[in-house]
Amino acid sequence: EVQLVESGGGLIQPGGSLRLSCAGSGFTLTSYWMDWVRQAPGKGLVWVARIKSDGTSTSYADSFQGRFTISRDSAKNTLYLQMNSLRAEDTAVYYCASLPPGAWGQGTLVSVSS
């Protein structure tokens, strides 16, 4: 069974940093393009970043370029999102997803507040 499991969310103060992880089981992350998507409370889905299947290329939504970094560890079959200079408006559930084929994790909540 294909599973993506995010972790690393929590409460963080403004200006802080956090690294989210997304572990794959029954699913080899390096075979697919992988994405991070976020959803603020009561709001819609927002694409954050993407990494190519071979890891040679990354892309970001304009809003996150320079602050967020997507990466992966092939040996651990894990995707990461490093988030720096966090702001209150970064409060959201963060999902990892593989598009295609369309697998999603259950999400991890990041709350930025003093």
Partner 1 sequence: QAVVTQEPSLTVSPGGTVTLTCGSSTGTVTSGHYAYWFQQKPGQAPRTLIYDTSNKNSWTPARFSGSLLGGKAALTLSGAQPEDEAEYYCLLTSGRGVVFGGGTKLTVL
Binding-site ranges for partner 1 (CB under 8 A): 35, 37, 44-47, 50, 59-62, 95, 97, 99-107
Residue 23 tokens, joined? 């572990």
Instruction: Pick the closer one to partner 1 by CB: 67 or 99.
Output: 99
Judged by CB, which is closer to partner 1: 7, or 17? Answer: 7
Q: Which is nearer to partner 1, 30 or 46 (CB)?
A: 46
Euclidean distance between CA atoms 31 and 10, whole angstroms: 29
The neighbour count for residue 11, using CB atoms within 10 Å, is: 13
We find the least distance from the C-beta atom of residue 31 to partner 1, in angstroms, to be 16
